[in-house]
Amino acid sequence: MVDIFSKKFLEGLEYETPFFVFSKKALRERYKEFKKYFPDSSIYYAMKADAEKGVLETLFEVGSGFEAASLYELKLLKELHVPPDRILYGTSVKPTSHIKEFHDYGVNRFAFDSFPELEKIASIAPKARVYVRVSVNDAGSIYRFSEKFGTVHENIVPLLVRARELGLEHYGISFHVGSQASNPEAWKNAVSSLHPVLKHLHELGLKIEILNIGGGYPCMYASTDEEITLKEVAKSVAAECKKLPYQPHLVLEPGRAMVADSAVLVTSVIARVERIEHTWLFLDAGVYNGLFESLAYQGSIRYHVTAVRPSYDAGEATFALAGPTGDSWDVVSREAQLPQDIAVGDKLVFHSVGAYNLVMVGRFNGFPKPAVYFV
């Protein structure tokens, strides 16, 4: 578990729960870590993971670029005066009005993964630089993208040839190995699968400028079996890239791994209820208002959770944790280890919750978005 705040600091926070606290220092350090292990790459933070102003500002200040997925995200970047050359429009299927908004702002790098999308980009953003998203093996990742996004390898060359015919620049290739990946070799294997494609493109005189290896870098949640370090991913990717016919510039789009460990969520116990199988603690935050990724979909995330107060002599017990709404999906864990005598009013801290939670808050049962603080 990554402990970004001391227990004493958390104990001293007297805000009304539920609330998030982000550490700007942790964010800066994480960005530096990405730069350390991928020194010759460009980093574009995938802002879909969390788009709080404090997160964007902090990453902008340390030099990050941004991968944006809609004109709504672009609007947030414009408010911070992020220049267009630090922005990628990374969703491979896009509404025309959004492409226009990016083009008007001066963003000229767009992902795509089909012929119709290419025609669409060419008609709205002539001369744009386009990179083709390819579907790669994402087995073992908690959230998989290969069904919905990415073309097959055989289409890469025809798509980039067509891009040039349309007056666009054949800028590069991208892939995403799936979010919260569990195979440390997933990126390396994806690079390796592109070797013959790069060779073919080279023979046709179509050298690409970038290879975008996407996101997917995992975090050490309570539900994560084995740690995958950036160091090992970087090492295997670098070795594989050396084998390519030439070395395109590396681009990374980390979302989760950039921001997850920089925030905690503080919640209060609103009820303690005995049911047949579990003792339930109902909290003032749940999957709809702060812990969305606990919701089981392709997989789900379980967070490290600790009590703000000590366990005294009572020892610990296993609890099921539920959010405050009337929905049966609103269950955060069935295996939280917490002080046995935990009671209504006690505060719990969920760790590493910075990614894909605040951006997913809904208004189910009317519960509002938790407050967000930065230190």
Ligand X SMILES: Cc1ncc(COP(=O)(O)O)c(C=O)c1O
Whose Cβ is closer to ligand X: residue 251's or residue 348's? 251
Q: Which stretch binds ligand X (CB under 6 A): 20-28, 31-39, 210-218, 233-241?
A: 210-218
- The sign of the torsion formed by the CA atoms of 202, 204, 207, 212 equals negative
Q: Is position 117 an interface residue for ligand X (rule: CB under 6 A)?
A: no
Contacts (CB under 6 A) with ligand X, residues 30-69: 46, 48-49, 67
Task: Verify cis geometry, omega within 30 degrees of 0, for the bond prior to 370.
Answer: no
What are the backbone dihedrals phi and psi of residue 50, each rounded to the nearest 5 degrees, phi first?
A: -165, 125
- Nearest residue to 237 (alpha-carbon basis) of 180, 179, 177, 197: 177
8 A C-beta contact, residue 364 and residue 287 = no
Among 172, 254, 286, 290, binds ligand X (CB under 6 A): 254
The answer to whether 256 contacts ligand X (rule: CB under 6 A) is: yes
Give bridge partners of residue 264 from the DSSP assignment: 21, 351
Q: Which of 216, 248, 290, 354 binds ligand X (CB under 6 A)?
A: 216
Q: Least distance in Å: CB of 339 to ligand X?
A: 33
Give the shortest CB-90-to-ligand X separation in angstroms.
4
Is 257 an interacting residue with respect to ligand X (CB under 6 A)?
A: yes
Least distance in angstroms from the C-beta of 145 to ligand X: 6
Determine the interface stretch with ligand X among 23-31, 56-64, 97-105, 247-255 (rule: CB under 6 A).
247-255
Q: DSSP label at 151?
A: B
Contact flag: residue 113 with ligand X (CB under 6 A) = no
Give the three-state DSSP class for 367: coil
**68 vs 102, 126, 168, CA distance in Å?**
10, 20, 20
Task: Find the shortest distance in angstroms from Cβ 179 to ligand X.
Answer: 3
Task: Using the structure block, give the residue that is written with the tokens 């969390």.
Answer: 50
Q: Which of 240, 253, 284, 330 binds ligand X (CB under 6 A)?
A: 253
CA separation (Å) from 340 to 268, 306, 316, 318?
16, 12, 5, 8
Applying CB under 6 A, the site for ligand X has a residue count of 16
Give the residue, chosen from 17, 41, 155, 179, that forms a contact with ligand X under the rule CB under 6 A. 179
Euclidean distance between CA atoms 321 and 248, whole angstroms? 47
Which range in 15-23, 112-120, 215-223, 289-297 contacts ligand X by CB under 6 A? 215-223
Residue 200, classified by CB atoms within 10 Å of its CB into exposed (0-12), middle (13-18) or buried (19+), is middle
Binding site for ligand X (CB under 6 A): 46, 48-49, 67, 90, 176, 179, 214-217, 253-257
